[in-house]
């Protein structure tokens, strides 16, 4: 009889143990879901950091070295720090409730640090860039990434420890769940990359995107702290940290325009300016700025992207940028009977509009969807008048079927033309896309002494075209200045009289100086230049110093508010 009474009791205990085990597994699944989300934020923050830093520090090899090295250092320290916290808590005889408290505290601390970084980086990064671009970029990475990455990566060993406590009690040690934890975290990171690349960067400003991640991390702490599925120590502390992070990040999102001072006119060197529109994109943040000059000088509208002025127009919509007239003049001076043109790079859309008004059928290639919107909404561009491709110029030119009389190349991203659009293979495809008696004109920058790799570009171009001309205003050999290139399969001379109608008075002198100094690329101009190919593209390293010099000029020339986002 006694044995019969024990069986129901044992069955009841077994059911209770099974129910407890299931509850713990469900609770652990919830904690694992958190590590999936925080793993995604790690890679998202790294991508956003590159976009935030570009206007201040450029996109050279030095800058990416800083981002990657600081990221890896922060992750390594975070993994060690999380393990140290877990050992310390267990060594003091504390159980899973304390470990969970530490685990849930990390997202809130990361949220607070992101909010704090957003408050200071729009002003601090300008000073860091002016001090030293390379060293400043490393410090900037520390400000943006160090605390968020350390805290979110520390969650991995903490979660392993939480799982380890439960399994030790049940005699199931194995790998203590570390394989599962790091697998889930890594998969979360994989998901975080496309979310950042295809959602945050194209549709939200960098400032609001990083704060949005902060809001998400704060909410994770708040929701998890409110859950009663398992014991958690110090819930009040967790709630306070979560509310603090949520409030700080949300307030900065809501009042971003006021905080950054971008909506109202700002005084800077006796001019007033205001932001008319902003277009986030995967290819850089485009700003349309209105500059009001003092007295009776009127105003101008500026197409501004990542510290590069793509174009400027007056109140009548006339371009105030030399390159728009230079490209048109080169094309129609050397091919006066031209009927078709291909424009690589849209910018504000001024050049194709002028060509179309002169009777040319123009095909346009521009990879950035935001450029089309900015050009149409603010610079009078009419897309219906053209054949348009929202695509990479490399792909469209390679598949070119209709040969054009002229091709105009105005391709810039970051501090210069993307390297894959400066190879011999790309120039070969251009040669096959232009008619035999046609020309290809380039808007570019470079130094005579090849300190920024300019002679490598000339050598690569000369490898495909019989004649290459260069036009530039007089400048010291080590100065990277605006240069216009003309490439053709036929013999053309730089001594032609080059002119263009409608040239603004302010541009007449620089236009004349530019085209009075045309030269044929040969001999000494190619000395030290090597042909760049897709298999051996050494331009990133060759151009790094020149890009740093340009970026240094940018951070001294523009108000800090222009460089945010």
What's 355-420 look like in SS3? HHHCCCEEEEECCCHHHHHHHHHHCCCCHHHCEEECCCHHHHHHCCCCCEEEEEECCCECCECCHH
User: Would you place residue 398 in the very low, low, confident or very high pLDDT band (cuts 50, 70, 90)?
Assistant: very high
Euclidean distance between CA atoms 278 and 280, whole angstroms: 7
Distance (Å) of CA 22 to CA 16, 18, 95: 10, 6, 19
Same domain, 337 and 216: no
- High-pLDDT (> 70) share of the chain, %: 88
pLDDT beyond 70 at 509:
yes
Q: Is residue 347 part of a domain?
A: yes
**Among 259, 275, 297, residue at a domain's last position:** 259
pLDDT, mean over the chain? 84
Between 433 and 299, where is the model more confident?
433
Q: Is residue 292 part of a domain?
A: no
pLDDT beyond 90 at 397:
yes
- What pLDDT sits at residue 505? 92
The pTM for the full model equals: 0.79
- What pLDDT sits at residue 48? 86
pLDDT beyond 70 at 132:
yes
- What pLDDT sits at residue 60? 63
Backbone φ, ψ for residue 282 (5° rounding): -70, -10
User: Are residues 443 and 323 in contact, defined by beta-carbon separation less than 8 angstroms?
Assistant: yes
- What pLDDT sits at residue 28? 64
CATH number, domain containing residue 509: 3.40.50.150
Between 120 and 194, where is the model more confident?
120
- What pLDDT sits at residue 89? 85
Q: What residues contact residue 429 under an 8 Å CB cut-off, 6+ apart?
A: 394, 397, 398, 400
Q: Is residue 282 part of a domain?
A: no
Q: What residues contact residue 500 under an 8 Å CB cut-off, 6+ apart?
A: 325, 326, 328, 329, 332, 511
Q: Is 167 left (phi over 0), alpha (psi -120 to 50) or beta?
A: alpha
User: Are residues 456 and 532 in contact, defined by beta-carbon separation less than 8 angstroms?
Assistant: yes
Burial class (CB in 10 A: 0-12, 13-18, 19+), 535: exposed
Between 372 and 21, where is the model more confident?
372
**Beta bridge partners of residue 236, listed in sequence order:** none
**DSSP character for 317?**
S
Same domain, 253 and 337: no
User: Would you place residue 197 in the very low, low, confident or very high pLDDT band (cuts 50, 70, 90)?
Assistant: confident
- What pLDDT sits at residue 412? 77
Euclidean distance between CA atoms 438 and 99, whole angstroms: 72
Euclidean distance between CA atoms 523 and 110, whole angstroms: 58
Q: Is residue 438 part of a domain?
A: yes
Indicate the number of domains in the chain: 2
Please provide the size of the chain in residues.
565
Rounded (5°) CA angle 80-150-189 = 105
Q: Tell the residue number behind the tokens 């508010």, with chain if given.
A: 561
Lowest mean pLDDT: which of 21-30, 169-178, 274-283?
Answer: 169-178
Strand order through the sheet with 361-365:
387-389, 361-365, 340-344, 404-409, 434-446, 481-488, 467-471, 519-520
Same domain, 86 and 215: yes
pLDDT beyond 50 at 22:
no
Euclidean distance between CA atoms 347 and 412, whole angstroms: 9
Q: Tell the residue number behind the tokens 């179309």, with chain if given.
A: 356
Buried b (16+ CB within 10 A) or exposed e, 282-299: bbbbbbbbbbeeeeeeee
- What pLDDT sits at residue 175? 45
| Residue 112 DSSP SS3 | helix
Backbone φ, ψ for residue 564 (5° rounding): -65, 135
pLDDT beyond 50 at 266:
no
Same domain, 216 and 122: yes
pLDDT beyond 60 at 172:
no
User: Are residues 292 and 265 in contact, defined by beta-carbon separation less than 8 angstroms?
Assistant: yes
How many angstroms from the chain centroid is the CA of residue 217?
23
**Among 210, 228, 259, residue at a domain's last position:** 259
Between 441 and 275, where is the model more confident?
441
User: Would you place residue 199 in the very low, low, confident or very high pLDDT band (cuts 50, 70, 90)?
Assistant: confident
Q: Hey, what are 3's tokens?
A: 């044995």
- What pLDDT sits at residue 407? 96
- Element at 446 (helix H, strand E): strand 434-446
pLDDT beyond 60 at 374:
yes
- What pLDDT sits at residue 460? 93
Same domain, 367 and 250: no
Same domain, 252 and 338: no
Q: What residues contact residue 353 under an 8 Å CB cut-off, 6+ apart?
A: 380, 381, 382, 385
User: Are residues 174 and 167 in contact, defined by beta-carbon separation less than 8 angstroms?
Assistant: yes
Euclidean distance between CA atoms 466 and 408, whole angstroms: 18
Euclidean distance between CA atoms 283 and 285, whole angstroms: 7
Read off the pLDDT of residues 40-73 as tens digits, 9 standing for 90 and up: 888 888 888 888 888 888 766 667 788 888 888 8
- What pLDDT sits at residue 151? 93
Q: Is residue 556 part of a domain?
A: no
pLDDT beyond 50 at 15:
no
Terminal C-alpha separation, the chain: 79
Count the Cβ atoms, other than its own, within 10 Å of residue 77: 15
| Angle at which helices 350-357 and 322-334 cross, to 10° | 40
User: Would you place residue 265 in the very low, low, confident or very high pLDDT band (cuts 50, 70, 90)?
Assistant: very low
Q: Is residue 530 part of a domain?
A: yes
Euclidean distance between CA atoms 292 and 264, whole angstroms: 12
Q: What residues contact residue 116 under an 8 Å CB cut-off, 6+ apart?
A: 248
pLDDT beyond 60 at 17:
no
User: Would you place residue 7 in the very low, low, confident or very high pLDDT band (cuts 50, 70, 90)?
Assistant: low
Same domain, 358 and 457: yes
User: Would you place residue 433 in the very low, low, confident or very high pLDDT band (cuts 50, 70, 90)?
Assistant: very high
Q: Tell the residue number behind the tokens 């597994």, with chain if given.
A: 25
- What pLDDT sits at residue 18? 42
User: Would you place residue 282 in the very low, low, confident or very high pLDDT band (cuts 50, 70, 90)?
Assistant: confident
Q: Hey, what are 182's tokens?
A: 């790091």
Between 47 and 319, where is the model more confident?
319
pLDDT beyond 70 at 215:
yes
- What pLDDT sits at residue 489? 93
Read off the pLDDT of residues 483-505 as tens digits, 9 standing for 90 and up: 999 999 999 999 999 999 989 99
- Give the range with max mean pLDDT: 67-71, 336-340, 454-458: 336-340
Strand order through the sheet with 299-305:
266-268, 271-279, 286-292, 299-305, 308-313
Q: Is residue 554 part of a domain?
A: no
Q: Parallel, antiparallel, or unpaired for β 271-279 and 266-268?
A: antiparallel
Same domain, 336 and 247: no
Same domain, 238 and 342: no
User: Would you place residue 262 in the very low, low, confident or very high pLDDT band (cuts 50, 70, 90)?
Assistant: low
SS (H, E, C) 15-38: HHHHHHHHHHHHHHHHHHHHHHHH
Torsion over CA: 306, 308, 310, 311 (sign): positive
Same domain, 253 and 386: no
Same domain, 81 and 220: yes
Read off the pLDDT of residues 514-529 as tens digits, 9 standing for 90 and up: 999 899 999 888 888 8
Q: Is residue 22 part of a domain?
A: no
User: Would you place residue 350 in the very low, low, confident or very high pLDDT band (cuts 50, 70, 90)?
Assistant: very high
pLDDT beyond 50 at 328:
yes
Same domain, 96 and 239: yes
- What pLDDT sits at residue 500? 92
Give the domain extent around 394.
Answer: 319-534
């Amino acid at each position: 009889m006694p044995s019969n009474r024990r069986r129901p009791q044992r069955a009841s205990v077994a059911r209770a143990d099974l129910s407890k085990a299931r509850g713990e597994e469900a609770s652990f699944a919830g904690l694992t879901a958190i590590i999936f989300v925080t793993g995604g934020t790690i890679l998202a923050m790294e991508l956003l950091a590159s976009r935030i830093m570009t206007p201040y520090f450029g996109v050279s090899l030095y800058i990416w070295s800083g981002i990657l090295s600081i990221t890896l250092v922060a992750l390594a320290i975070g993994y060690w720090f999380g393990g140290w916290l877990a050992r310390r808590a267990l060594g003091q005889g504390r159980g899973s409730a304390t470990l969970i408290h530490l685990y849930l505290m990390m997202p809130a601390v990361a949220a607070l640090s992101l909010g704090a970084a957003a408050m200071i980086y729009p002003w601090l990064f300008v000073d860091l860039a002016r001090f030293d671009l390379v060293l400043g970029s490393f410090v900037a990475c520390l400000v943006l990434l160090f605390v968020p990455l350390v805290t979110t990566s520390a969650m991995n060993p903490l979660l392993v420890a939480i799982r380890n406590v439960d399994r030790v009690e049940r005699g199931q040690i194995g790998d203590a769940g570390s394989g599962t934890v790091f697998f889930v975290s890594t998969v979360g990171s994989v998901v975080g990359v496309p979310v950042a690349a295809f959602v945050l960067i194209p549709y939200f400003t960098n400032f609001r995107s990083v704060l949005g991640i902060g809001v998400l991390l704060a909410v994770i702490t708040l929701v998890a702290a409110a859950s009663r599925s398992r014991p958690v120590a110090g819930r009040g502390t967790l709630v306070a940290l979560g509310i603090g992070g949520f409030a700080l990040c949300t307030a900065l999102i809501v009042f971003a325009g006021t905080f950054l001072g971008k909506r109202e006119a700002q005084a800077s060197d006796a001019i007033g300016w205001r932001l008319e529109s902003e277009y986030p994109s995967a290819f850089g943040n485009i700003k349309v700025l209105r500059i009001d000059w003092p007295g009776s000088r009127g105003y101008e509208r500026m197409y501004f992207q990542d510290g590069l002025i793509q174009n400027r127009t007056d109140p009548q919509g006339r371009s105030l940028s030399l390159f728009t007239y230079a490209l048109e003049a080169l094309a129609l001076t050397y091919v006066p009977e031209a009927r078709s043109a291909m424009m690589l790079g849209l910018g504000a859309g001024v050049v194709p509009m002028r060509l179309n008004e002169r009777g040319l059928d123009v095909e346009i290639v521009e990879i950035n969807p935001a450029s089309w919107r900015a050009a149409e909404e603010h610079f009078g561009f009419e897309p219906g008048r053209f054949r348009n491709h929202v695509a990479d110029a490399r792909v469209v030119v390679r598949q070119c079927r209709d040969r054009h009389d002229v091709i105009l190349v105005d391709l810039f991203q970051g501090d210069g033309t993307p390297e894959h659009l400066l190879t011999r293979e790309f120039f070969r495809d251009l040669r096959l896309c232009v008619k035999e008696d046609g020309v290809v004109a380039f808007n570019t920058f470079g130094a005579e002494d090849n300190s920024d790799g300019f002679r490598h570009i000339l050598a690569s171009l000369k490898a495909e075209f019989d004649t290459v001309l260069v036009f530039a205003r007089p400048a010291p050999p080590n100065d990277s200045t605006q240069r216009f290139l003309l490439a053709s399969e036929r013999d053309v001379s730089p001594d032609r009289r080059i002119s263009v109608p409608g040239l603004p008075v302010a541009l007449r002198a620089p236009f004349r100086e530019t085209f009075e100094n045309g030269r044929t690329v040969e001999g000494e101009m190619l000395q030290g230049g090597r042909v760049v190919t897709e298999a051996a593209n050494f331009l990133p390293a060759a151009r790094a110093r020149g890009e740093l010099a340009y970026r240094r000029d940018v951070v001294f020339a523009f108000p800090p508010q222009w460089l945010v986002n």
